[in-house]
Each structure stands twice: as structure tokens, then as C-alpha cells.
Structure 1
């Protein structure tokens, strides 16, 4: 493989401005309806799992949270 192809393949992306990144994230946030309930349920399960020292409950909360998106 030629050097320039390898260099282009392994190159890291350039950094973006923080303001642009924050604005993009805030634009996609939607905490109403079922998203809010899933967030609350996930937080409750994670809190209970941390209090009783249960890795399974914490992992369960991590599995619920992606359902919000």
C-alpha cells in the first residue's frame, strides 16, 4: 500500500469548534413524552443498581438509555 493512502486512511479528523458542536447537540435533544419517561426510568434503574452494587442493573440502565434516540 502506498504511503499516501496509508497516511490518508489513518489521519484523524480535524477538530470542530465547540460552539458548533454544542449547537448541533442541543438541536437534536428532545425531552418530551416517551423520551423523558425513558430517561427517568433509566436513571432510576441505574441508581438502584449502584445502591445495591448490581452490575446487571447498571448494564440494564445502559441498555434502556439508547432507546431514547
Structure 2
């Protein structure tokens, strides 16, 4: 079963969320979100997904893309 292109995204952890302890972690590369430009990390798993033609973006952009304008209520 082939996935829709819009579902072929993965999130990259934001630097502001996990802090500097991830800098230098084996296989983690500090980069920028291609959507918003925030600093985030590309992980070894992200590189596998990228090679499979998935698109990476920071956690916030991925959540906006997946859940905004989909009829989901954010009310408590």
C-alpha cells in the first residue's frame, strides 16, 4: 500500500525543546527546519526516512501541517 505524499513527513527535534545536551550526540546533526528556519536536529532515523523520500521539518511545523485546518478542535 503506497502512502499519500502529504503523509510522508517526519519531525526533527527542536533545539529549544531538548537543549544543548543533544549537541555531539552520536549521529545527531544540528540543522535548520526547511519550513520555518528554526534550529533542530537531524537524527540517524531521519536520514533513513529522507532517503525514502519523506520530508523532514521541525516538530512544530510537522504538528501544524498534520493538525491545522483539519477540523480538529483545540478547545479544552
TM-score bin, normalised by smaller chain: under 0.3
Larger strand percent? 2
Larger helix percent? 1
Tell me the TM-score normalized by structure 2: 0.22
Tell me the TM-score normalized by structure 1: 0.23
